[in-house]
Amino acid sequence: MMQALAEAEAAAAARDIDTAVAAAARAVAEAPGDPAILLRAAHLHVGLGRAESARALAHAALDATTDPAVEAGVIPLATHLHVTGEPVVAAELLRRCWHARPDGPTISLFLAAGLPAFRRSMQDGADRALLEALTTAACCDPSAPPTADMAELARLVEDADRDDLLLALGDAVRARGGLAVLDRLTRPALGAIQSLTGLAHAATHRSGRAAMAFAAAHSALPVDPSARFNAGYAALAAGNVPRAAELLGGLPAAGEALLAGAAWPQFGELPWPFAAPPEAARRGLESLLPPGARWPRIRLVTPCLNPGPWLEETILSVAAQAYPAVEHVVVDGGSSDGTAQVLARHRDRLHAVIVGRDSGPAEAILKGFAGTDADLIGWINADDLLAPGALHRLGAAWASDPAADLVHGWAVAHRARRITGLQQPLAQGQADFTVAGLADVFGRWGAGAFFLQPEVLIARRFWEALGGRLDTSLSAVFDYELWLRAAQAGGRVAQARWPVAFYRTHAAQRSGQRAALALEQVTVRDRFAAPTPPPNRRSEVTAALRRALAPPDRPTRLLLIDPRCAESLSAAACEEARAALAVRGVALEVLSRAPGSGIEADLVLRLLGAHDGVDWVPHLRALGFAGPTVGWFLEDDRDAASNAAMARAPDVVVPARARRRGILLQEAALVTEAVAPPCGLLSIAEARAAFAAGVTSGPAGAAVWERGPARLAAALRHDAPLPVGDPGALTLALLAGRIPVSDDPDLVELLPAPLSDDRAARHAAGLDLLLAPRLLRVLDALRALAKD
């Protein structure tokens, strides 16, 4: 055992990775479950740049014992992982072991790694257990982490609606005498400072003084969005609609920092929507109707299914409009949470209530629209509210331009009544309402240039011209699909410069699953206008590819950069790939990072993880590389926003999954057809030899830290279907002739379709996923682009 470890460490020092990995695996096998050996092996692997293997070994060591010394021994390992750019792995290990050595440096490290790890988790559903662990650690020594990290932790905790954790953090800071830190955690944001006096009066129910203070704040700093917001609603509460329109209509689009001092509207003793603006405000709003016009009839539909505590506020926000021609219909899909009692209590405020099963909100909305002859129709979800004066402002804007097909105002985003943003769709008016603009999912759409949804109504005649339908196959972006159809049909837009909706953000909303939402949205977008580089950019890239792929009188020099190659690419697989590419006139070099000086290559192919960033391309250009850069997006099934941003950096993008290709489409880089990611754990020759030996007996399992041939040998000890959890395991299952089993559609997509019932055919499919065939497939895709 000790001899094997010594051999492994000597080989690691000589950078003989295959020998080091094999010797370390032998040492672990000779002393199964020994936490000290597992921990030494983990440190060896992390030194070799094998983060996943190090993580697995560290977890095995922690699982084998409760000895605090072992937990303490994992902390330096996590430190190394964090420093070398693996914060998620580091945070995962520190979550298990920070309490073994809860000193300042360890707590600081846990926050440094854990905060970015938590933010990344928000794409697929926030890791709330990690947030709790970070808060618990910070409470042990709140003076240790940088104050900026403590402030960021407090922000994330607050956004997660965990006031209990926020209060615990504050108690811990105060108990340790950290007044400077407490001041930073409670200090008003820049956008709140001007309005502090008014906020204090409002909090102590001195509404008149609050209104005076808000007006003074706006006079002192007219460009401050919070002050303008507060002064505008104070004017509305005083019944002064012209002044409110001047103030609220002049609001700029703003985020949470500038709106940190914005107070929730209040009328008399109660907040909106439990109290409405006074009679004078109603008269002022009614005076907005153009002479000789009538108020358009508006039908609003609220779809719901177990909406929880917010439906009542939605109903009240419509009723408190005092708009003379509104029909509010609630369509309940069969709630079991007390919704029936809410609907019964407010039945006199509703035009109709429809109860019955449906396939989702789109079908529910269609039920609510059925049979109406209202002039304008729209929907407001059961977690959103109309803003004061919304319907009068929308109705008046449409009455002034009844030929308009859509009419909209602004949306105020909030979290538990904390104002977090003001979104102003179509800032340039009609010129912004185009299919091309709407198609910019990760640019203009993500920046708030278009609708959140509750702030827009559509003319019924235009709705009927568009087919009178919503796409009920969509779970969340059926509104986006409707706006694309509306823009495609040349829909005319009227605007009301007024906040007309309060859009609630919370963990349970459908749009909270960002990755799934992005995939559905780009799938819809691609039906109308898939982004593509303009002709001059396409010509530039294809010309560069032609030069790189056919240099005069010598092979093409291909530099493959894989930061994880110590773990993902074996020496045998790389040698085999070099030989295979040489036959095609390509000289392959494999590195974990770009060299520090001049690059001797015609073409650079970088294997990319979901959070590898965009700096690699500017770095290559700074080194003098002028050839085409190619990014192969191995984790295009993760963090859509990150992948979309990275896709703008290289000249060519290679997706790994056809279903995710749309996320990578943009106007800067050419995108090939999808090429499944390479498995470089072993060579074709090794895989064929192992399969030819047939099914053997022995233990079925093989650890992820073992070399590829050992893992394939373990897979060959049985022939039953094999559960798999990553692309490498899937390939190994195929190479063993077994049927891989997974409930992950993004993993299943990498399988050949249809999957053969024949073992030899499955083995052949696995061979095609190894490094050499995959690189040849990418070269074929690049050559196809070069011919365009």
Q: What is the pLDDT of residues 333-344, one digit of tens each?
A: 999 998 999 999
Return the pLDDT at 271: 96
Residue 109 near residue 137 (C-beta atoms within 8 A): no
Task: Please indicate, yes or no, whether residues 551 and 416 belong to a single structural domain of this protein.
Answer: no
The residue among 131, 164, 186 that closes a domain is 186
Alpha helix ranges (H) inside 411-490 = 435-438, 460-465, 478-488
> Where are the extended beta strands (E) located within 600-681?
603-608, 629-633, 652-655, 670-671
Looking at the structure, tell me whether residues 434 and 311 fall in a common domain: yes
238 in any annotated domain: no
In a domain, 268, yes or no: no
Distance between CA atoms of residues 125 and 128, nearest Å: 9
The whole-number average pLDDT for the span 564-574 is 95
Average pLDDT, integer, range 517-536:
94
Q: Is 288 helix (H, G, I), strand (E, B) or coil?
A: coil
- The mean per-residue pLDDT over the stretch 565-584 comes to 96
Q: Is the dihedral of CA 677, 566, 124, 651 positive or negative?
A: negative
The answer for 125, left when phi > 0, alpha when psi is -120 to 50, beta otherwise, is left
Q: Number of helices (H) and strands (E) in the chain: give both, helices first.
A: 36, 20
pLDDT over 50 (residue 511):
no
Which range (267-276, 508-517, 760-769) has the least confidence? 508-517
* Residues 628 and 594 both lie in one domain: yes
Task: Look at residue 49 and tell me if it is in a domain.
Answer: yes
Tokens for 374?
A: 């209202």
162 with 174: CB under 8 angstroms?
no
Instruction: Check if the beta carbon of residue 38 is closer than 8 Å to that of residue 77.
Output: no
CB 388 within 8 Å of CB 236: yes
For residues 667 and 539, give the distance between their C-alpha atoms in angstroms, rounded to a whole number.
13
542 lies in the same domain as 689: no
Tell me the DSSP string of 202-253: HHTT-HHHHHHHHHHHHHH-TT-HHHHHHHHHHHHHTT-HHHHHHHHHTPPP
**Cβ 370 vs Cβ 493: under 8 Å:** no
Structure tokens at 397: 């804007």
Contact 679, 771 (CB under 8 A): yes
Q: Which residue has the tokens 């689009």?
A: 253
- CA atoms of 503 and 386, how far apart (whole Å): 9
Give the pLDDT confidence of 382-407 residue by residue, as tens digits.
999 999 999 999 999 999 999 999 99
Average pLDDT over residues 18-41: 91
615 with 474, same domain: the answer is: no
pLDDT at residue 508 greater than cutoff 90? no
User: For residue 1, what pLDDT is reported?
Assistant: 61
Contact 275, 260 (CB under 8 A): no
Question: Could you give the CA distance from residue 379 to residue 450 in angstroms, rounded to a whole number?
Answer: 16
Q: How far apart are CA 355 and CA 145, in angstroms?
A: 53
Domain with residue 673: its CATH number is: 3.40.50
Q: What is the largest CA-CA distance in the chain?
A: 97
Coil, strand or helix: which one is 693?
coil
The contacts of residue 626 (CB under 8 Å, 6+ apart) are: none
Cβ atoms of 262 and 229 within 8 Å: the answer is yes
> Is the confidence at residue 697, as pLDDT, over 80?
no
- Looking at every residue in the chain, the average pLDDT score rounds to 94
Task: Let me know whether 508 and 649 are in one domain.
Answer: no
How far apart (Å, rounded) are the C-alpha atoms in residues 525 and 93? Answer: 40
- Which pair of tokens denotes residue 416? 């538990």
Percentage of residues of the chain with pLDDT beyond 70: 99
Owning domain of residue 709: 684-769
Question: Where residue 698 falls among pLDDT bands split at 50, 70, 90?
Answer: confident
Helix (H, G, I), strand (E, B) or coil at 255: strand
Name the H helices within 511-592. 514-528, 535-549, 565-568, 571-583
pLDDT tens, position by position, 233-270: 999 999 999 999 999 999 999 999 999 999 999 999 99
- The confidence score (pLDDT) of residue 513 equals 65
Look at residue 512 and tell me whether its pLDDT is greater than 90.
no
Residue 776 DSSP SS3: helix
Q: Is the pLDDT of residue 735 over 70?
A: yes
> Do 619 and 568 share a structural domain?
yes
Do 146 and 37 lie in one domain? The reply is yes
Instruction: Kindly tell me if the per-residue pLDDT of 732 is higher than 60.
Output: yes
Q: Are residues 567 and 716 in the same domain?
A: no
CB 57 within 8 A of CB 39: yes
DSSP, collapsed to helix, strand or coil, labels residue 456 as strand
At 616, the pLDDT band (50, 70, 90 cuts) reads very high
Per-residue pLDDT at 648 exceeds 80: yes
- Note the pLDDT of residue 161: 87
* Stretch (H or E) spanning 332: strand 326-332
Evaluate if residue 274 carries a pLDDT over 90: yes
Tell me if 706 sits within 8 A of 41, measured CB to CB: no
Place 598 in a pLDDT band, splitting at 50, 70 and 90: confident
**How many domains does the structure of the chain reveal?**
4
pLDDT tier for residue 124 given thresholds of 50, 70 and 90:
confident
Residues 664 and 633 in one domain: yes
Q: Which H or E run includes 732?
A: helix 727-735
- The token pair at 60 is 């095995």
Last residue of a domain, one of 155, 186, 217: 186
Does 242 map to a domain? Answer: no
With respect to residue 279, please indicate whether it lies within any of the assigned structural domains: no
| Same domain membership, residue 779 and residue 763 | no
The answer to whether 564 and 609 are in contact (CB under 8 A) is: yes
What local confidence, expressed as pLDDT, does residue 2 receive? 78
Kindly state whether residues 478 and 565 are assigned to the same domain: no
pLDDT over threshold 70, residue 507:
no
Distance CA 424, CA 504 (A): 16
What is the distance between the alpha carbons of residues 193 and 743, in angstroms, rounded to a whole number? 51
**Helix, strand, or coil here: 400?**
helix
Q: Which of 166, 182, 89 is nearest to 132 (CA)?
A: 166
Find the CATH number of the domain harbouring 313: 3.90.550.10
CA–CA gap between residue 280 and residue 56 (Å, rounded): 68
What is the pLDDT, as a whole number, of residue 179? 83
Global confidence as pTM? 0.91
Q: Is the dihedral of CA 193, 196, 197, 198 positive or negative?
A: positive
> In this structure, is residue 258 part of a structural domain?
no
Given 528, 545, 563, which residue is the final one in a domain? 528
The pLDDT-based confidence of 520 (bands split at 50, 70, 90) is very high
For residues 437-460, give the mean pLDDT. Answer: 92
Q: Which two tokens stand for residue 517?
A: 């939402």
Q: What is the pLDDT, as a whole number, of residue 509?
A: 53
Number of alpha carbons in the 13 Å side-chain half-sphere of residue 472: 11
Of 180-194, 205-219, 657-671, 719-733, the one with minimum mean pLDDT is: 180-194
